[in-house]
C-alpha cells in the first residue's frame, strides 16, 4: 500500500516533469501565461513603427507628433521618458536665438530723451526744410557760424 | 548718417561760403537770428546734436569735438 501510495505521488510528478520538457499540454497551460506577454508586446511595437512610417513624410514634425501621440495614448513609461528629456534641450536651443535676434530687431524708443524741438525753415539755397523730413533715421545737427 | 546744418549769424552768403570751404553738401538751414535753434537751448556755436530715429535728442556737445566726443555720441545709438 505504501508503495502504491508513493507511486501515486511520483507518477504525477514525473508526468509534470516530462510534460514540461517535452512541451506537454499540462505544462504549457501554466507556462504560456508568462511568455504570453512578450508576443503581445512585440506586435504592438511594429504597429507603432508602421503608423510612424505611414504618417511621416516630414520627419521632424512627425517625430514630434508621434511623441505627443504616445504621451496622450498613455503608452509605456519608457516611451514617455525619452520625450521629456528631448523637450528640455530644445528650450536652451531657443535661448541663444534670442540674443541673435536682438541686434537685428529695431531699437525701442527711449522716452527718457527729450523730444527735439521744431526745426523748420529754409535752407541757404532757399529750399524748404524741416527736421520732420529726417524722422525715422538718426541725424546729426551741426550748428555753426563762420566766426 | 544724415547731417543737417544750422547756420547762425552773418547772413546766408557767409554761411554758404563757409560750407563750400569745408565741402559740406548736406542741407543747411538758415537761422541768422537764432530764432529756431534757441528753442533747443543752444547758446553757442559750434554745437553738435544727435537726434535719434524717433526725433528725440540723444546727446550733443559744444565745440569741434574730439574722437571721444564722437564716440560717446555714437554710443547713444546703441
* Contact at CB, A142 and B5, closer than 8 angstroms: yes
> What is the model's pLDDT at position B9?
86
Query: What would the grid cell of residue A40 be?
Result: 503581445
Q: Measured between CA atoms, how close is B50 to chain A, in angstroms?
A: 5
* Contact state of A138 with B52 under an 8 Å Cβ cutoff: yes
B78 touches chain A (CB under 8 A): yes
DSSP secondary structure string for all residues of A90-109: HHHHHTTHHHHHHHHSPPPP
Largest CA distance in chain A: 142
Whole-number mean pLDDT of chain B?
Answer: 93
- The reported pLDDT for the residue numbered A135 is 86
Question: How many helices (DSSP H) and strands (DSSP E) are in chain B?
Answer: 2, 4
pLDDT recorded at residue B43: 86
Count of CB contacts below 8 A, A vs B? 147
Nearest CA to B40 out of A60, A115, A95, A108 is that of: A115
pLDDT at A146: 81
pLDDT tens digits, B5-56: 999 988 899 999 999 999 999 999 999 999 999 999 998 999 999 999 999 9
ipTM of the complex in this document: 0.95
Q: Which of the residues in chain A have pLDDT under 50?
A: 18, 20-80
**What's the predicted TM-score (pTM) here?**
0.54
The widest CA-to-CA distance across chain B, in whole angstroms, is 38
Strand-pairing partners, residue A129, are A121
- Nearest residue on chain A to B42, alpha-carbon basis: A143
Give B 11-50 residues with CB within 8 A of chain A. 12, 14-19, 27-31, 36-37, 39-40, 42, 45-50
**pLDDT score for A7:** 54
Amino acid at each position: 500500500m505504501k508503495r502504491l501510495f508513493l507511486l501515486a505521488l511520483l507518477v504525477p510528478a514525473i508526468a509534470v516533469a516530462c510534460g514540461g520538457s517535452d512541451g506537454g499540454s499540462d505544462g504549457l497551460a501554466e507556462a504560456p501565461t508568462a511568455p504570453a506577454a512578450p508576443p503581445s508586446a512585440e506586435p504592438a511595437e511594429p504597429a507603432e513603427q508602421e503608423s510612424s512610417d505611414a504618417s511621416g513624410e516630414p520627419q521632424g514634425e512627425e517625430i514630434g507628433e508621434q511623441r505627443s501621440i504616445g504621451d496622450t495614448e498613455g503608452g509605456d513609461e519608457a516611451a514617455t521618458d525619452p520625450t521629456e528629456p528631448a523637450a528640455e534641450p530644445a528650450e536652451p536651443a531657443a535661448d541663444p536665438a534670442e540674443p541673435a535676434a536682438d541686434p537685428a530687431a529695431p531699437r525701442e524708443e527711449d522716452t527718457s530723451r527729450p523730444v527735439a524741438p521744431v526745426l523748420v525753415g529754409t535752407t541757404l539755397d532757399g529750399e524748404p526744410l524741416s527736421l520732420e523730413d529726417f524722422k525715422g533715421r538718426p541725424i546729426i545737427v551741426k550748428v555753426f557760424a563762420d566766426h | 548718417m544724415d547731417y543737417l546744418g544750422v547756420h547762425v549769424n552773418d547772413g546766408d552768403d557767409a554761411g554758404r561760403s563757409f560750407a563750400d570751404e569745408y565741402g559740406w553738401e548736406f542741407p543747411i538751414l538758415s537761422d541768422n537770428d537764432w530764432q529756431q535753434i534757441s528753442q533747443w537751448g543752444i547758446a553757442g556755436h559750434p554745437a553738435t546734436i544727435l537726434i535719434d530715429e524717433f526725433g528725440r535728442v540723444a546727446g550733443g556737445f559744444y565745440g569741434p569735438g574730439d574722437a571721444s566726443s564722437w564716440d560717446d555720441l555714437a554710443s547713444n545709438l546703441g
